[in-house]
């Protein structure tokens, strides 16, 4: 079997964004261009013990109906615990006990945590096996499943250990979002707003009223188009800078300050990114690196989404900034990357810990 047959890293993945596509997963797998000898392979569905597990029976049935081998389930803890060394070790042990060989295919069905873990397992088990991403949260559909970044958390921080390892396919089915809890949907909205600043061409298309999850309203046609737009925006950036040396860092917009606030004040990722984007744009406006109009349009969208635009009272500037200083993307000074005017533009600047502490201290300033 050649490297190519196994689904080597950085082979361009097939991306399908289609309502109902998850139920077509076996057909996608059997398409001759994707995997040779699909019927001879073993499949492992990696799911979390909360949402993913509920999808397992339906997927097993589909695989069997298509004449593929009965997939085995690997159930991992829900949330960031999925990205721990312990879970990683357990999954590797399970693969070994099941005598998974190098033709085995891993399929991640879940949010970004399941995807990041599965990708890291796939990249390392027997020095690389193919895997498929089936993202089920808005955040994973518009962001984490694209671009091949996979990895684990350490005690010291998030995504400390990882690599670039592309899946062979990314199958995005917006109908999963029907059951997504509202606060998870909102986390995805913050990333959608991030893309709208990076690529302002689709600001006007954003309508949060069409994107409520969990038994509220989800307009699947609308959301499918929106996901396509976000994915296209991310793909174009990743293609230009696959290893995160330049323009790809713009995808981190809002996250440097956001992560610090998220860890210190224990608020959701989406809320933290929203606040982070407002504060980082404020710093950029101050330096003449972003127009006030761009910043204000973004704030308008965040308010429309009901996302916060100022840090919570509970934030402790010293602690939050200490987390930012530990961020792996910073070497000494704290670097911020913000989008510029036009889809290919970005600005990078460094900021002192003092300026950041000042920014987080009441009375709050956003520019």
Binding site for ligand NAD (CB under 6 A): 48, 50-51, 78-80, 83, 110-114, 116, 136-137, 139-140, 143-144, 147, 149, 158-159, 176-177, 179-180, 184, 187
CA 139 to chain centre: 5
State the nearest-atom distance from the C-beta of 148 to ligand NAD, in Å: 8
| Alpha-carbon gap, residue 169 to 166, rounded angstroms | 8
Query: For ligand NAD, which is the closer residue by CB, 184 or 264?
Result: 184
Least separation in angstroms between CB 324 and ligand NAD: 16
Partner residues linked to 17 by β-bridges: 172
Q: Which is nearer to ligand NAD, 68 or 132 (CB)?
A: 132
CB of 5 to ligand NAD, least distance (A): 25
Interatomic CA distance for residues 345 and 200, integer angstroms = 12
- Which of 166, 133, 162, 135 lies closest to 150, judged by CA? 162
Between 6 and 83, CB nearer to ligand NAD: 83
Q: How far is the CB of 265 from ligand NAD (least distance, A)?
A: 17
Pick from 194, 193, 139, 191: which is nearest to 338 by CA? Answer: 194
Element (H, E) at 216: none
Q: How far is the CB of 111 from ligand NAD (least distance, A)?
A: 2
Question: What's CA 31's distance to the chain center, in Å?
Answer: 26
Number of neighbouring beta carbons within 10 Å of residue 229: 19
* Nearer Cβ to ligand NAD (41/158): 158
- CB 291, CB 362: distance < 8 Å: no
Residue 100 or 169: which CB sits closer to ligand NAD?
Answer: 169
Measure the CA dihedral 238/243/248/252, to 10°.
120
142: nearest Cα among 47, 224, 217, 253: 224
For ligand NAD, give the closer residue by CB, 47 or 285: 47
Q: Within its chain, how far is the Cα of 269 from the centroid?
A: 11
Residue 367 Cβ vs ligand NAD, minimum distance, rounded to whole Å? 27
Least separation in angstroms between residue 57's CB and ligand NAD is 16
Nearer to ligand NAD, 186 or 295 (CB): 186
């Amino acid at each position: 079997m050649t490297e190519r047959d196994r689904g080597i890293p950085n082979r361009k993945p097939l991306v399908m964004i289609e309502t109902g596509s998850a139920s077509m997963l076996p057909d996608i797998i059997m398409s001759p261009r994707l995997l040779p000898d699909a019927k001879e392979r073993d499949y492992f569905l990696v799911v979390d013990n909360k949402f993913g597990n509920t999808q397992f029976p339906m997927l097993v049935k589909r695989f069997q109906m298509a004449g593929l081998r009965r997939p085995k389930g690997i159930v991992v803890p829900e949330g960031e615990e999925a990205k721990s060394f312990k879970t990683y070790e357990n999954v590797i042990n399970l693969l070994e006990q099941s005598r998974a060989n190098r033709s085995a295919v891993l399929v991640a069905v879940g949010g970004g945590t399941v995807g990041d873990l599965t990708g890291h397992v796939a990249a390392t088990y027997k020095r690389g096996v193919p895997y498929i991403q089936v993202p089920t949260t808005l955040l994973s559909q518009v962001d984490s499943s694209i671009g091949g970044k996979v990895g684990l958390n350490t005690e010291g921080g998030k995504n400390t250990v990882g690599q670039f390892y592309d899946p062979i396919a990314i199958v995005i089915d917006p109908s999963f979002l029907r059951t997504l809890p509202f606060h998870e949907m909102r986390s995805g909205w913050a990333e959608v707003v991030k893309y709208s600043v990076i690529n302002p061409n689709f600001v006007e298309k954003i309508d949060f009223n069409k994107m409520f999850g969990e038994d509220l309203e989800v307009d699947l046609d609308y959301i499918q188009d929106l996901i396509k737009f976000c994915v296209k925006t991310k793909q174009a950036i990743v293609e230009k800078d696959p290893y995160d040396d330049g323009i790809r860092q713009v995808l981190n917009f809002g996250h440097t300050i956001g992560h610090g606030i998220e860890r210190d004040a224990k608020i959701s990722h989406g809320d933290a990114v929203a606040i982070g984007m407002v504060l980082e744009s404020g710093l950029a406006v101050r330096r003449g690196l972003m127009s006030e109009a761009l910043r204000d349009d973004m704030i308008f969208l965040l308010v429309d989404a009901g996302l916060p635009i100022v840090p919570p009272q509970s934030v402790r500037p010293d602690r939050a900034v200490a987390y930012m200083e530990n961020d792996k993307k910073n070497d000494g000074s704290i670097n911020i990357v913000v989008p510029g005017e036009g889809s290919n533009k970005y600005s990078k600047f460094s900021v002192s810990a003092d300026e950041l502490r000042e920014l987080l201290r009441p009375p709050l300033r956003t520019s």
